[in-house]
Amino acid sequence: MSLFALLIGVPLIAAFLVFCLRGNGARNAIVPLASAVTMGLSVAAALKFFGHPEFFKLAAPELPMVIMALDIIAAVVILYYTLVRFKRPWIALLELVQLGAVFWFEKTVGHSIDIAANIAIDNFAMIMVLIVGIIGSLIAVFSLGYMEEFQKEHRDVEDRRPFFFFVIFLFLSAMFGLVISNNLLLMYTCWEITSLCSFLLIGYTQTEEAINNSFKALWMNLLGGLAFAIAIVWLGLEYSTVELSMLVNLGRSSEPVELAVALLVFCGFTKAAMMPFSGWLLGAMVAPTPTSALLHSSTMVKAGVFLIIKLCPILGSNHAGLMTMFVGGATFLFASCAAISQSDGKKVLAYSTISNLGLIVCCAGIGSYEAAWTAIMIIVFHAVAKSLMFLSVGTAEQQLESRNIENFDGMFCSMPRLSLCMIIGICGMFLAPFGMLISKWAAMKAFVDAGHPLLLLVLVFGSSTTLFYWTKWLGKITAFIPAKENLEEGIHGVQWIALRVLSALTIITCILFPGISQYGVIPYLEVTYQTNMDVIARSNLLIMSMMVILLVVLPLRFGKGRKQKQVVTNLAGENSGDNLSYRGAAGQTIPVTLRNWYMEKWFGEAKMKLCGFILCGSCLLIEFAIILGGAFHV
């Protein structure tokens, strides 16, 4: 148990240290140290608890007081921003209502409820701890170099780095608290802190756009928080419990807890940026890249899907389950379509995150053993590959002063090492035999076995559109344009460390995923579902990881073989010799510019968003109407 106290405490101490010792030198020392310790602790925790799920009562009488105090501090900060600093009173209202609800609940009913376990540690929580601990810490290390460069480039942005790192470490600490808590009140507190942190991080630059987007993130997440608070109150009043495991048990014994489940799932939707709440994640792009990397890969959105997957066993063919799978499925399809029409690198990544989260949520909604396996596997692969992608795009942005994919032309030659990281990231995101594809495979099986033809359709079309936008991007960076100079000089050392470790992690998770499945995911599912089966035959898993090894070995042959005579590209005989321009009809030299296809007419962002919002919104409304009708049926 002390291990977890350390896990939450170390980032918290680091947060306060970087905030108080404002010097660059102190920060440069504290951040890597704290990150390394956090990483080590998370690995230690994983080693200790993998395969030994445990519940802790944590019999501290002051715990409710601490929770309340944290709730109030978070609320005060939010109220300060919404009422004093910026005038957004109705967001303050959202916060006040939920705070009031929780406060009232704690005063009247809460203290009389006997809590069997405040902390639940299982393999899934451990996987999340590993993701947050390793990837989150790497991102913190990366930010050290990135933010230094960022402040140099953006002289007009006030240097608030102590504050930035304070929030980042606070975020990690809250995430650790979130994934191990079984007490919903405790989880709610961590939940609110992550919402608050993301709000603070998104608004870092304090520009008009950043402030607007940060408030968008805040109100959407507070709406989720409100649903969370209502779920707690309802659950406490009806069944006098505030434990997640109890809720799952109640659901299993077919008690009518659908309303609480649906509210919690809804809360997960807002955090995981399901349509129609996808707006805040796209808006988060205004923040410095490490923020996006943190929000998209290891924290924030993963908290949303974490909660939904925890509820997985009691979703399925009930209305909460139907809502989950259809909102997830529609988000998966429309977000991946919308990504086709985007040329802004970070926006493509954002849509790809949303669509992957959609797939995870959809799987969780199906609720079967194989679907849950798939959902957890996607979380792992997505976290690793997506953080790598974000960090490489952020680095490329600093070097090229643009994050438009069209400007990544010739990266293969001008930034060979960075483009290699990016290629590994992209391959990890969609290509066979990398992990993501395994997950899609399992998803397909799960969808067929669950008997939802519509979801199958969503999956096959969604995966083909995914293929399109990733390959397009891959093509852009592999285009071979001999570079005049190497642009990798300015990249900070710590940035390389993070990028290299993540690249290695991506490959390692892809090679070792049979092991991850065997020792990580399956034991958790065995406990949760009381059965044991191989989702994908073990021989096939081995074949896939062999193919990854092949893919790693294959590039060693790169550039070997018979000597080839170099000729210019075919520009109908008018190539002016450097492949970059041709002679026009009047003898002038015209540069060759190549642009990708975006198919705006087919996959325009506005169109896709409209379809997605209408579908998901109406699905939410209808299902909630049915569930409410059922819950308050007299």
> 257: closest CA among 303, 182, 319?
319
Q: Could you say which of 24, 569, 589, 618 contacts another protein (CB under 8 A)?
A: 569
289: contact with another protein by CB under 8 A:
no
CB of 408 to another protein, least distance (A): 12
Q: Which residues neighbour 268 within 8 Å (Cβ) at sequence distance 6 or greater?
A: 224, 304, 305, 306, 307, 308, 361
308: contact with another protein by CB under 8 A:
no
575: contact with another protein by CB under 8 A:
yes
CA gap 295, 135 in Å, rounded: 11
- Identify the H or E element spanning 590: strand 589-591
CA gap 51, 487 in Å, rounded: 46
Total site size for another protein, rule CB under 8 A: 64
- Residue with smaller CB distance to another protein, 241 or 463: 463
Per-residue CA distances from 4 to 66, 125, 152, 178, 285 (Å):
17, 12, 38, 12, 32
26: contact with another protein by CB under 8 A:
no
451: contact with another protein by CB under 8 A:
yes
Q: Which residues neighbour 292 within 8 Å (Cβ) at sequence distance 6 or greater?
A: 284, 285, 346, 349, 350, 390, 394
SS3 55: strand
Per-residue CA distances from 133 to 161, 516, 568 (Å):
21, 17, 49
Q: Could you say which of 6, 77, 96, 479 contacts another protein (CB under 8 A)?
A: 479
Stretch that binds another protein, among 2-10, 106-114, 466-474, 492-500 (CB under 8 A): 466-474
Q: Could you say which of 43, 483, 512, 571 contacts another protein (CB under 8 A)?
A: 571
561: contact with another protein by CB under 8 A:
yes
597: contact with another protein by CB under 8 A:
yes
- Residue with smaller CB distance to another protein, 572 or 634: 572
Per-residue CA distances from 141 to 169, 296, 623 (Å):
11, 17, 44
445: contact with another protein by CB under 8 A:
yes
- Identify the H or E element spanning 583: strand 581-583
Q: Could you say which of 463, 495, 506, 509 contacts another protein (CB under 8 A)?
A: 463
CA gap 591, 579 in Å, rounded: 9
471: contact with another protein by CB under 8 A:
yes
Q: Could you say which of 6, 43, 481, 622 contacts another protein (CB under 8 A)?
A: 481
343: contact with another protein by CB under 8 A:
no
Stretch that binds another protein, among 200-208, 297-305, 324-332, 565-573 (CB under 8 A): 565-573
- Residue with smaller CB distance to another protein, 252 or 538: 538
317: contact with another protein by CB under 8 A:
no
CA-CA-CA-CA torsion sign (394, 378, 271, 46): negative
Q: Could you say which of 73, 579, 617, 630 contacts another protein (CB under 8 A)?
A: 579
User: What residues are paired with 575 via a beta bridge?
Assistant: 582
CB of 592 to another protein, least distance (A): 6
Q: Which of residues 386-415 bind another protein (CB under 8 A)?
A: 409-410, 412
Contact criterion met (CB below 8 Å) for 265 and 355: no
- Residue with smaller CB distance to another protein, 166 or 412: 412
- Identify the H or E element spanning 125: helix 123-130
CB of 333 to another protein, least distance (A): 11
Q: Residues 416-435 vs another protein: string with x where CB under 8 A? A: ---------------xxx--
Exposed/middle/buried for residue 215 (C-beta within 10 Å: 0-12, 13-18, 19+): buried
Q: Could you say which of 383, 476, 494, 507 contacts another protein (CB under 8 A)?
A: 476
Cβ count within 10 A of residue 154: 13
Instruction: Name the residues that contact another protein, by CB under 8 A.
Output: 409-410, 412, 431-433, 437, 441, 444-445, 448, 451, 453, 456-457, 459-461, 463-465, 467-468, 471-472, 474-476, 478-481, 537, 540, 543-544, 547, 554-555, 557-559, 561-575, 579, 583, 592, 594, 596-597, 602
